Amino acid sequence: MKKPFVKTIDAQAPSVRKMDFAGLDDLPRYYFNDNAIITHATNSFHVIFPEGERFFIRSVKPFQDKIKDEGLKNRVKSFIGQEVQHGKEHERVWGSIRKFGLPLDRIANFYHFTAFKIIFKLLGFLFGPKINLSITAALEHYTATLGEISLKYDLAKDAYDDMRKLLVWHACEEIEHKSVVYDVMQEVAPSYLLRMIGFAIATVMLWSYAILLQYWFLIADPEVTWERFLKDRPYARNYMKITLSPLFWGTLKYFKPNFHPDQIGGYDLAEKRLATL
């Protein structure tokens, strides 16, 4: 990877950092601690994120002209720039996945069609663009919470080279811009009911696709025998034990009527980890 110009974490003025994780083009089959379960769990997010990031951008764009605060307008522009970079780097992994004969394109096409051509299109038709904004704000809370957990417990430490750097960089920037969409929602659609509906939809969508796509990869992988699956389970189980409890308590904070993402913080942690890249 070319050494990036690492700008400091600033929630009030996020920076667009154009990375070049060249190592993503040639990853080993099981790039996460030689563990098939966690690798394919991560592969599911490499499929989910690129189109998901584009959905985030489409969700916030209809409201850009309605934002009165100039600072927030600038933060939205940076948010869009960061999400574009995230999608590009995660999509870069697709070539490495394809070379092992895994049905990456079939899985991605299924996800794109069912999520964005059917479910989100129907939701937008029935409830208008504000529901997409609400869903995006909830998903941003999830990604920022997961990012902070990942950095706090160094969950990417066993990932291969540039994959580790990708996961750390993405986590840092999710923390940096975590309040942007929420602040847009508070300005143009400050409804607690809308926020909760968006959270419920986001929760079902995110985890349904994450689990479904992970097991699709596992079942389609000819090298994941039952013996291999059992061998890899202890590491994967320990990984989930570390993650699930703080994720549960972190997401519960979203239910507070006076919640704001800045109440959680994590900016100093993101700054510290970003500087290590």
Q: Write phi, then psi, for 271 (nearest 5 degrees).
A: -60, -45
Q: Which residue has the tokens 């999400």?
A: 83
CA count, 13 A, side-chain hemisphere, 119: 17
Q: Is residue 15 part of a domain?
A: no
Per-residue pLDDT reduced to its tens digit, 141-176: 999 999 999 999 999 999 999 999 999 999 999 999
Per-residue pLDDT reduced to its tens digit, 169-223: 999 999 999 999 999 999 999 999 999 999 999 999 999 999 999 999 999 999 9
pLDDT of residue 229: 97
Q: Is residue 21 part of a domain?
A: no
Q: Is residue 231 part of a domain?
A: yes
Q: Which residue has the tokens 């079939």?
A: 106
Q: Is residue 25 part of a domain?
A: no
Distances (CA, A) of 72 to 1, 68, 105, 136, 187: 32, 8, 37, 16, 10
- Calculate the average pLDDT of the chain: 94
* pLDDT tier for residue 6 given thresholds of 50, 70 and 90: low
Q: Is residue 71 part of a domain?
A: yes
pLDDT of residue 1: 45
pLDDT of residue 276: 86
Segments forming the whole domain that contains residue 176: 31-274
Average pLDDT over residues 235-262: 95
Range with lowest mean pLDDT among 5-14, 22-31, 153-162, 263-272: 5-14
Q: Is residue 176 part of a domain?
A: yes
Q: Is residue 78 part of a domain?
A: yes
Q: Are 16 and 148 in contact (CB under 8 A)?
A: no
Residue from 127, 246, 245, 251 nearest 178 by CA: 251
Is the predicted pLDDT of residue 106 greater than 50, yes or no? yes
* pLDDT tier for residue 2 given thresholds of 50, 70 and 90: very low
C-alpha span between 13 and 46 (Å, rounded): 27
Q: Is 83 left (phi over 0), alpha (psi -120 to 50) or beta?
A: alpha
Q: Which residue has the tokens 């699930």?
A: 244
Query: Other CB atoms closer than 10 Å to residue 201's CB: what's the count?
Result: 20
* pLDDT tier for residue 20 given thresholds of 50, 70 and 90: confident
Q: What is the pTM of this model?
A: 0.94
pLDDT of residue 245: 95
pLDDT of residue 3: 52
Q: Are 39 and 236 in contact (CB under 8 A)?
A: no
Q: Is residue 6 part of a domain?
A: no
Number of structural domains in the chain: 1
Per-residue pLDDT reduced to its tens digit, 51-98: 999 999 999 999 999 999 999 999 999 999 999 999 999 999 999 999
